[in-house]
Amino acid sequence: MAELMYWEAIRRAHDEEMAHDPMVICMGEDIGVAGGTYKATQGLYAKYGAERVVDTPISENGYTGLGIGASFLGVRPVIEIMSVNFAWLAMDQIFNSAAKVRYMSGGQLTAPVVIRSAGGTAHQLGAQHSARMEKVFMGIAGLRVVTPSNPRQAYGLLKSAVRCDDPVYINEHELMYNMKGEVPDDEYFMPLEGSEVAREGRDVTLFGYNISVHWCLQAAATLAKDFGIEAEIIDLYTLSPLDRAGIVASVRKTHRAVIVEEAEAAVGVGAEVMAIINEECFFELDAAPVRVSAVNVPIPYNHKLEKAAIPNVGDIVAAVRKMVGK
Which residue of the set 8, 29, 80, 129 is catalytic?
Answer: 129
Compute the radius of gyration of the chain from its Cα atoms: 20
Its sign, for the CA torsion 73, 145, 122, 183, is: negative
Which residue of the set 8, 17, 29, 60 is catalytic?
Answer: 60
Q: What angle do CA 244, 293, 197 make, to 5 degrees?
A: 40
- Dist. CA 236–CA 214, nearest whole Å: 12
| All residues at 6 or more sequence positions from 325 whose CB lies less than 8 Å from its CB, including other chains | none
Most distant CA pair in the chain, distance: 60
| Residue 321 Ramachandran class (φ > 0 left, ψ -120 to 50 alpha, else beta) | alpha
Active site residue 60: yes
CB 13 within 8 A of CB 155: yes
Half-sphere exposure of 103 (CA within 13 A, CB side): 11
Q: Per DSSP, what are the bridge partners of residue 180?
A: 5
- Dist. CA 269–CA 249, nearest whole Å: 18
- Other C-beta atoms within 10 Å of 168: how many? 26
> Annotated catalytic sites, by residue?
60, 129
